[in-house]
Structure 1
Amino acid sequence: MRVVVGLLLLLLALCGSGAQGEGGGLGQVGEISEFQETAPRDAAEESAESTTKQTTPDIWAEVRALRDMVVELKVFVQLLQRENSDQEMRLTATESKTTDLEKENADLQTRLSSSESELLLSKSRIDQLERENAVQATDLTSLGTRLTATESKSSDLEKENAVQATDLISLGTRLTATESKTSDLEKENADLQTRLSSSESELLLSKSRIDQLERENAERPKVAFYTALTEGFIGPYNTDITLTFSKVFTNIGNAYNPATGFFTAPVKGVYYLQFTVCGNLTGLMGVQLYKNKQRMMYNGEWKEASHLKYMTNSAVLELMAGDEIHLVLPSSYAIYNNGDNHSTFSGSLLFTL
């Protein structure tokens, strides 16, 4: 701007010089005319007058040319001023746009600050180039190029900001989904904790019940026996006899007496009793089950051929402590046993009462 003002001042000075030259020429013409009226001319004066007359129009032509040049320069200067004003307006708009981008994206502030520094440097160079009138057009072109680059850079920053905004929206969506999933997991965890607490309570109750059952089981008497007859043929006899199962395999609680063949209930409860007898002779085979002196069961049949035949039965009886159970072989009946233990008698306590 200062270079343009200086150029205008120079042109005005040139215009002033031209006006003075034009006035001086007119004065000389007046003097020559006056001199011609007062004195006769010689050949030399006539030659000088002729030269002056020729020079005067040339000076006027130069003045007019200079004036036209001044007008053209004024127009050129006005164009330069307008272009410079447009460049400054674009530069101002770019700085404003850059400032807005800095506010929108704090992460880009450093790069935009660098752009502002470059723009300040560009202004300084423009001021320097304005002082150098000969290269002003080149400097303006350079400024336009840099301004275009800055605008392109601002456009890139806008695109990058848009991408970052899209990423931010995506991250927000993912964060919302994560929060929702976290909330669901928290609810599920709360339900699991509730179920775990309930399970722990049930487990404690189960352990307590198990402990109680174990104590009851430890306190409850354990009764079980399994026996077999002596090997060989037993019967037939003329009278009923009590069967003595002398081969004892199991006698927990010692409630069965192998010497007498009686099982004595140690406690009041429900007992499971079972017997199996084998026949190997032609004739009657069978057995009777007695509770104390009361017959509770009778099993018997006729055996035809001389081959092994089996008979099995069982009973569940409620016995008082001291009740006795034994098996009786009726008169004229016969049964058989050997090392394979075909005839057996067993029982156990199911539960106390």
Structure 2
Amino acid sequence: MTGQLYHCSLVKTCNWTMRVALGLLLLLLGLCGSGAQREEGGLGEVGEINEVQVTAPRDAVEEKTEQSTKQTVPDIWAEVRALRDMLVELKVYVEILQRENSDLQTRLSSTERELLVGKSRIDQLERENTVQATELLSLETRLTATENKASDLEKKNADLQTRLSNTERELLVSKSRIEQLERENAEKPKVAFYTALTDAGYVGPHNTDTTLKYSKVFTNIGNAYDPATGFFTAPVKGVYYLQFTVCGNHTGLMGVFVFKNNQKIIYNVEWKEDKLYKYFTKSVVLELLAGDTIHLVLPSTHSVFDDGDNHSTFSGSLLFPL
């Protein structure tokens, strides 16, 4: 649009210049005609003066007319030459303006093409911008959702950290307690034994009460049981669990006494009428002082049976110290 306005202004300038040149030419022609008329009129006036003033010399009039004509003609030609030079300059200026106009037209066309390309690029960028704005909105929505999720995860993580700290403290307490129990357990005496009576078969009946010596020792942790005497001696004060099994394979009485130190605390007996195996098992929980003894006694006229199958046994262990 600006190029078109500039082109119109340039055309108007050229037209105005041509009109000025044409006006100058018309002025030149008018001057030429006016000079000729002055020359003719002067001669007529001289003639009239010659007729009226007979006394004026003829030579003087002719001289004056010649001088006037010589003076007027050179002035006109000088103006004509000046106008011609101006016209040439105007033509050159017009050519320059035309060339500049042509260059401007070329530049204008190039600029308009670039403008069209620019507009097309702007439209493309606007479309891309619209797409990017949509994507940005989608990303912002996703980012908001992600931030909310991250916030929830942070809260959960904080809760887990708290729980983990509590668990770690509890674990430390548990480890400390376990170590304490392990130390106490390590310091705690370990007492357990398991024995069987004999491989000889029948034991008894005897005329007197007889201490049973369980000679087959399978377990004797703490060495609290003595197979040579048949006595279990409590190494520490505590609560002990004791158990015995009696087998009979002979007609008659089968049974045992249980003694704590020299005190009889249990008497278990069975009557057996045939020669088939017969069993009974008893157990007892006793509080013993360090040094207290437990042993089993076979009453007189009673018998028990044992062989390689370990039918009659005696066992015990420390439940906990006191």
Distance in 1 (alpha carbons) for counterparts of 2:98 and 2:168: 87
* Residue 344 of structure 1: aligned partner: 313
SS at 1:342 equivalent: coil
1:266 equivalent to 2:239? Answer: no
* Residue 199 of structure 1: aligned partner: 167
* Residue 126 of structure 2: aligned partner: 158
Q: 1:269-289: CA deviations, max 9, x gaps?
A: 100001112111222222232
* Residue 196 of structure 2: aligned partner: 228
1:156 corresponds to which letter in structure 2? Q
Q: 1:62-90: CA deviations, max 9, x gaps?
A: xxxxxxxxxxxxxxxxxxxxxxxxxxxxx
Cα gap change, 1:207/1:3 in structure 2, threshold over 3 Å: closer, same or farther? closer
1:240 corresponds to which letter in structure 2? D
Distance in 2 (alpha carbons) for counterparts of 1:3 and 1:259: 141
* Residue 105 of structure 1: aligned partner: none
Q: How does 1:169-180 map to 2 (within 5 A)?
A: 169-180=137-148
Distance in 1 (alpha carbons) for counterparts of 2:11 and 2:216: 144
Contact 2:251–2:273 (8 Å) recurs in 1:
yes
TM-score relative to the length of structure 1: 0.61
Distance in 1 (alpha carbons) for counterparts of 2:121 and 2:10: 36
2:265 corresponds to which letter in structure 1? M
Larger relative contact order (C-alpha < 8 A, sep ≥ 6)? 2
Cα gap change, 1:167/1:6 in structure 2, threshold over 3 Å: closer, same or farther? closer
Q: 1:201 Cα deviation (Å)? A: 2.1
Distance in 2 (alpha carbons) for counterparts of 1:271 and 1:307: 33
1:255 equivalent to 2:224? Answer: yes
Cα gap change, 1:284/1:155 in structure 2, threshold over 3 Å: closer, same or farther? same
Q: How does 1:115-154 map to 2 (within 5 A)?
A: 131-132=101-102, 146-154=114-122
- Structure with the greater alpha carbon radius of gyration: 2
Q: Which runs of 5+ in 2 are unaligned?
A: 34-96
* Residue 325 of structure 1: aligned partner: 294
* Residue 7 of structure 1: aligned partner: 11
Q: 1:12 Cα deviation (Å)? A: 5.1
Contact 2:259–2:266 (8 Å) recurs in 1:
yes
Contact 1:3–1:132 (8 Å) recurs in 2:
no
Q: CA RMSD in A?
A: 3.3
Cα gap change, 1:254/1:2 in structure 2, threshold over 3 Å: closer, same or farther? closer
Aligned residue pair count? 250
Q: 1:234-271: CA deviations, max 9, x gaps?
A: 11223322211122222222222222212121221100
Q: 1:201-230: CA deviations, max 9, x gaps?
A: 222222222222222222222221111112
Q: 1:157 Cα deviation (Å)? A: 1.0
Distance in 2 (alpha carbons) for counterparts of 1:128 and 1:273: 135
Distance in 2 (alpha carbons) for counterparts of 1:191 and 1:128: 86
Distance in 1 (alpha carbons) for counterparts of 2:187 and 2:7: 121
SS at 1:159 equivalent: helix
Distance in 2 (alpha carbons) for counterparts of 1:299 and 1:275: 10
Cα gap change, 1:6/1:191 in structure 2, threshold over 3 Å: closer, same or farther? closer
Q: 1:136-164: CA deviations, max 9, x gaps?
A: 6x987776655444323212111111222
Q: Which runs of 5+ in 1 are unaligned?
A: 28-126
Q: How does 1:52-71 map to 2 (within 5 A)?
A: none
Q: How does 1:230-309 map to 2 (within 5 A)?
A: 230-231=198-199, 232-309=201-278
Q: 1:54-112: CA deviations, max 9, x gaps?
A: xxxxxxxxxxxxxxxxxxxxxxxxxxxxxxxxxxxxxxxxxxxxxxxxxxxxxxxxxxx
2:186 corresponds to which letter in structure 1? A
Cα gap change, 1:253/1:2 in structure 2, threshold over 3 Å: closer, same or farther? closer
Distance in 2 (alpha carbons) for counterparts of 1:252 and 1:201: 37
2:138 corresponds to which letter in structure 1? S
